[in-house]
Amino acid sequence: MMNATTQFIVDLFLLVAASVVAGEICIRIGQAALVGQILVGVVLGPTLLQPVLGLGDISTNFQNLQILATFFILMMAGLSVTPEQIRATGLSAGLLGIAIFLVPFLLGAGVVHLLYPAWGWLTTLFISLTVSITALPVLGIMLRELGLLDSKFGSFLMNTAIVNELAAVSTFAVLLEIRTGTHTVLVDSAVAIVTVGVFLSTVLAVHYGLRSLRQTKLWDRAVAGFRETWRSREAWFALLMVAGLAAALYSQYLGLTFLVGAFYAGLLITPESAGPRQHRQIRQIFDTVTWGFFIPLFFALVGVSMDFRLIGADVLAIAAFVALVLFAFSSKLFVGSAITKALGWSSTESLGAGFLVASRGAVELAMAVILLDDGVFTTQQFTIVAGVGLLTTLLAPIGAAPFVRTITAERRSEEDEQRRSSFLPLPPSRLLTATDEERGS
């Protein structure tokens, strides 16, 4: 009989080792790593092997570790965005980002209510919200794997996802504040909007304060003094963690949950505020820790927390789940394709963009974990949300692949044409002129 510590280490080893291997396999077959990592949790969890392997209490034992992983993932999502990127986002990318969140969110509320009429209106809105977010990290990974991250096509979609994610996190904060309100819906909504406004105003004030300090000699002297006097190793990373935890506590105090604070704390750490070299070092350390440990563990724990037996209880439950998956995927696909087509993109580019923005990922699953821990979601509702995220992320690269191949081929053809044109020989008339000049000299 193993003691509690040994059991914890065994469970941790199984989850991390299996999710790392499964993630690598998925990447090699053109899928996002999170697909394999969640599937590992599904296999090891109550859906399949829980009775055999004895992982029945893993959700309780790993709850605090999952909260820490959620904190790191939201910080990482914030670090991948800077206020400068937001300001540089064009009007078309901004409108698309809002549309591919707002349209599925509003329509999804009606769809969820039709499919699950017994659920309360606030739960319905939370579910609609969590299935309406385009995954910024997953989109970035797919674009990088497809060789489009540094293209105009990829940059536009990344800017779109940034706006989408900001809108979703802010809406999530408002809904959380409404949930804890004690007055009428109208009053609670007003209080929620004011509270979120106070938090965002604080974030902006800190950002512009850091930006102003960065432009003064006082800042340079302070940084130089810090380097000379502070002897702790990786001090910049430690300060980032302190700042992130402080923002998480502030947002938790305001009733907006630590998730919101962690995300916006990451957004405040920019090359302008921290310095290019320090920012690069912080990102490298943070990405290593998060991608190497916390992300595989987080998604594996998401899978363990799911129980597909609750969805497959009867034919109607399965049909409702399938209908929600189809809506979640098709709504993103339709809105993304329609708007990019209206912006003058080709049919191939529009459909490729529509499929790519249909993927889900870390942020909405982090929201779902918080809602499950707070008792807002039941295990069945959490399984539905995570299942939608899993299947849409599975379908997105499969659907986008043929369109992306065409886009990539066209891009390479244009690059080859530009390369050839830069090496074209001079026309005969120019050559003759040059020869005459040489002879005259």
Residue-by-residue DSSP string for 102-167: HHHHHHHHHHHHHH-TTS-HHHHHHHHHHTS---HHHHHHHHHHTT-TTSHHHHHHHHHHHHHHHH
In angstroms, the CA 158 to CA 96 distance is: 11
Instruction: Kindly report, residue by residue over 170-209, the tens digit of the pLDDT.
Output: 888 888 878 877 777 788 788 878 888 888 888 888 877 8
Tokens of 360: 């889900």
Average pLDDT over residues 369-378: 87
Contacts of residue 159, defined as CB under 8 A and 6 or more positions apart, other chains included, come to 85, 88, 89, 90, 93, 94, 97
Q: Could you tell me which of 28, 54, 26 has the C-alpha nearest to residue 40?
A: 26
Kindly list the domain boundaries of the chain, sorted by start residue.
65-411
Confirm if 107 and 331 have CB atoms less than 8 A apart. Answer: yes
Q: How many CB atoms lie within 10 A of CB 193?
A: 15
Is the pTM value of this prediction over 0.85?
no
The pLDDT of residue 72 is: 85
Give the least confident one: 176-180, 334-338, 408-412. 408-412
In angstroms, the CA 362 to CA 405 distance is: 26
Instruction: Kindly report, residue by residue over 357-367, the tens digit of the pLDDT.
Output: 888 777 788 88
How does residue 434 score in pLDDT terms, banded at 50, 70 and 90?
Answer: very low
The gap between the terminal CA atoms of the chain, to the nearest Å, is 98
The pLDDT of residue 28 is: 85
In angstroms, the CA 51 to CA 54 distance is: 5
Tokens of 365: 């699953």
What CATH number does domain 65-411 carry, 1.10.357.10, 1.20.1510.10, 1.20.1530.20, 3.40.50.280? 1.20.1530.20
The pLDDT of residue 159 is: 79
Tokens of 16: 């991390």
Contacts of residue 57, defined as CB under 8 A and 6 or more positions apart, other chains included, come to none
